[in-house]
Every structure is written in structure tokens, then in C-alpha cells.
Amino acid sequence: MTASILSRPDWVAAVDADPVAEIDVSRLLAGGGDPFGVLTRTAATVEAGRGMVVVAPFDPVPLRDLLTGEGFQNHVETLADGRFRVRFLRAGGCAAAVAEPEPAAEPEPDPQAEPDAPRKFWIEEDGLHLDVRGLPPPGPMLEVLRFLDGGAHAQTLMVHVPQFPVHLIPELEDRGWTYEIVAEAPGHTVLRLAPEGL
């Protein structure tokens, strides 16, 4: 472990002693599964005051961001082999979680809303959504690539961008991702991204 043990919150020991689940992302990836989907579904079963443990070959920043918005605290430590061990504790929810208890029922983002009004990540029947509107260029492109390069998600991803991302397309092709325009309006373009062959 790194020196971060010294600043470890008190709740980490309780999560380690009795986690709802301990998930190894490397095993999920090796089996061809969708780690992000498994992790978010598992997190939905965690009651207030309980936690789960995730071990990953990378720091799962998108997952940490998403679960923070769902009322979780998290603590990251680097293991001796370079992997990351992340403990999540559901601290009792948040205003957004109380107002929208069913993530799948969350309404479509309003294209006319302020850029920071929609949550950055949310899940609907058509998959995970990522909203990068409101970031100054080249922020939207970099944020999408950061998420894809993190490796935590290998399924369809719905991306909300301020305009058609001309410079993103060759980067997607280099990484083996395809795209399809789902909707286009002034200030709001929705792309469906998917790994080739999916």
C-alpha cells in the first residue's frame, strides 16, 4: 500500500471487514464483461452505512464520480502491484438520489438547460450517458477520451456534446470505437459510441 494509509478514513476498516461485494475489474475485463455495468448494479444494492470494494488496474475515476453523485464516499489506495483498491461507502444518499431514486427513470437532459445542470453520468435503458457540454474546447473531446481510455466501460456509450466533434472521430477510430449521430440540435449533439463489433 502507499502512504495514503496514513490518511485512511475510519470507515474503510469496516468496509474491508464486511463489504457487500469485492469486485476485481481485471477478471471482469478478461471474461469479456462490462465492468461499469456490473459495478453500478452492485452499488445499487448497497444500503446506507454499508460499502463495497473495487480492485482495478486503473483508478476508476468515472465510477468514483458517478457514485459520489449517488451518495457514496470513496477512498483509493495503490497496491504494491500497481493496481488500485477503492472502497466505497454509501453515506446515506444525497439530494439527487432522494429526488430521483430510479436512475433509469431520469428524464432526458434539456438541451436548453445550463451546461452544468444535468448530471455528468446517468443510466437509461439505452445505456450509460456522459454529458460533456459546458466544457471549453478541447475539453469535451478530452473528457470522452479520458473515459474511454480508463477502460472501465466497454459497452454502448451515449455522449452529449455541444456540437459534432470533428476532431474526436479519428481518435475514436484509432481506439476501435464506432459512432452514430442519434440527435442533433443547436448546442446539443448526441452520439452513440460503441466498440467495433458490438
**What are the structural domains of the chain?**
3-94 (3.30.110.40), 102-195 (3.30.110.40)
Model pLDDT for residues 29-79, shown as the tens digit of each residue: 777 667 777 888 899 999 999 999 999 887 887 788 888 888 999 999 999
pLDDT digits (tens, 9 = 90+) for 98-117: 333 344 444 444 444 444 44
Please give the biggest Cα pair distance in the chain: 51
Of the listed ranges 63-67, 153-157, 177-181, the least confidently predicted one is: 153-157
Give the model confidence (pLDDT) of 126-153 as tens digits.
778 889 998 888 888 988 988 888 765 6
Say what the pTM is: 0.52
> Residue 88 has what pLDDT?
96
- Work out the pLDDT band at 17, boundaries 50, 70, 90: very high
- Structure confidence by residue, pLDDT tens digits, 1-15: 443 455 889 999 999
Residues 6+ apart with CB under 8 A from 32: none
Between these two residues, 7 and 118, which has the higher pLDDT value? 7
pLDDT value, residue 30: 75
